[in-house]
Amino acid sequence: MRNLFSWLKKFAIVLFILSVIIIYSIYSLLKPEETLPVYQPDMVNAELVDSTVRYVRKYHTVKDFELINQNGDTITQDYYKDKIYVADFFFTTCLTICPVMTDHMLKIQEKIKDDPEVLLLSHTVFPKTDSVPVLKAYAEEKGVMDKKWNLVTGDKKHIYELARKSYLASKSNGDGGPYDMIHTENFVLVDKEKRIRGFYDGTDAEAIENLMHDIKVLKREYR
């Protein structure tokens, strides 16, 4: 009798384990894998998009660029080849939203510092004053890691075209004079194919948590 009870106990344990495996398998099959949208210009607030690309519905990507980082190095798309990256727009003397955005970028940097797949890219919107030495001093003050995060400057028109035609993130085209500046809180998530996969309020801590979650989701696409 004791052997029978022992056998029944083992059978019940095996049956329970099999039941758990079957239920999990069914749940996994029924639950679709989480994915991120691929943003096109016609999906974004029209005020943030240049009229030349506003009605594009597919195949939108971040266009080629050539800018200079805090170390005086030329930064192009090649630097971000086969990388996921987070882009934003700032200027070093901003006293409103930029300090909060920079603090949040620093938190992202801390979380991705050992992740070879993810990088950061911040464009100054005030290249008239944000020279390479100014960006270098700012980077050192804030604790920017050169291998993870480029602060870039360059031709103002080029930067603003990137903001409106590529990143879909600016209401201004920079034609209003030297002090007509992009002032956007958007962090933009870009995938390895240079496609936009998400927009996040860079001043909102909860949005940053959502961004970190979405980076994980996006990385799973490449597994």
Question: How far lies 85's CA from each of 10, 21, 181, in Å?
Answer: 51, 37, 23
Question: How far lies 172's CA from each of 30, 98, 191, in Å?
Answer: 45, 17, 25
Known binding-site positions: 94, 98, 183
Cα–Cα distance for residue pair 164/56, rounded to 1 Å: 13
Residue of 84, 51, 112 lying closest to 193 (CA atoms) = 84
Known binding-site positions for Cu cation: 94, 98, 183
3-class secondary structure, 186: strand
Cα–Cα distance for residue pair 109/145, rounded to 1 Å: 8
